[in-house]
Amino acid sequence: MKVLIVDDEKLALSRLNRILTEEGISNIVECNNPIDAIKELSKTKFDIAFLDISMPTMTGLELANTILDVNPNTFIIFQTAFEEYALEAFKSGGIDYLLKPISNESVKNALQKIEKYIQNINNDKKETSKKIIAKRGSKIYMIDIDDIYYVKADLDEVIIKIKETDAYVRKKMQDMNELLKGKNFFRIHRSYIVNVDKIKSMQSVEQSKLEISFKDIDDIVTSSKDGAKEFREYIEQRSL
């Protein structure tokens, strides 16, 4: 497993390197600034990146976005002395958030979380019925496709709505559309894919768009004009 550590504090770098080594990880690259880290990204594909949040020239949050653009499968773990960045850290794709001074136990727990995540992915591939791995904050969800009400575009992620909550997946809408192909899902808008089996009612609104409500939840989504036309044709074909 290849690990990148980026921190502008030398003591923090050496401390984390020592802890990771004690946990059996030997392939570690240290950088004391984000610019050097970006250079390393062009040479090496990292499995995990430990990023300090407060650094000169670029924050760890900004660096995380760059890393995930290069390799979306990198596990990002933030480290900082400030608790107030936690929510933003998870929104930036972090799987964990460690407060300095970092302890052996916190690093071990973070690595175990990654191992569990990888195990879930591998188990998911073995399932005959597909599941989708999504997260909200530090919580990971294994979502049955049949439990999805709708999918909504959100910048470089998608929001998956299930009955209990909504969770985030770092995928594009086109990827989700492909994943849901063959199931009873329909893309009614460039930003929405709906589970037809979860629809309670539909109502025509301005410009012949459709306003869609769902069973058991209060959410309402609105189609585009073209999406409404294509969806009506889809429904008619299924009822023949």
| The pLDDT of residue 102 is above 50 | yes
CATH of the domain at 117: 3.40.50.2300
Question: 8-11 — which CB contacts under 8 Å span 24+ positions?
Answer: 8/32, 8/33, 8/52, 8/55, 8/56, 9/52
As a whole number of angstroms, the distance between CA 12 and CA 210 comes to: 55
Give the residue numbers spanning the domain of 109: 3-123
Looking at the structure, tell me whether residues 12 and 114 fall in a common domain. yes
Residue 133 dihedral angles phi and psi, to the nearest 5°? -90, 120
Looking at the structure, tell me whether residues 135 and 117 fall in a common domain. no
CATH of the domain at 196: 2.40.50.1020
Collapsing DSSP to helix, strand or coil, 177 comes out as: helix
Which of 66-70, 84-88, 121-125 shows the highest mean pLDDT?
66-70
Looking at the structure, tell me whether residues 116 and 135 fall in a common domain. no
Our count of domains for the chain comes to: 2
| The pLDDT of residue 128 is above 60 | no
List the helix and strand counts (H, then E) for the chain.
Answer: 7, 15
| The pLDDT of residue 86 is above 70 | no
Average pLDDT over residues 123-144: 75
Looking at the structure, tell me whether residues 116 and 138 fall in a common domain. no
Looking at the structure, tell me whether residues 148 and 227 fall in a common domain. yes
Residue finishing a domain among 123, 140, 167: 123
3-state DSSP: the chain helix, strand, coil percent, rounded to 5? 40, 30, 30
Collapsing DSSP to helix, strand or coil, 142 comes out as: strand
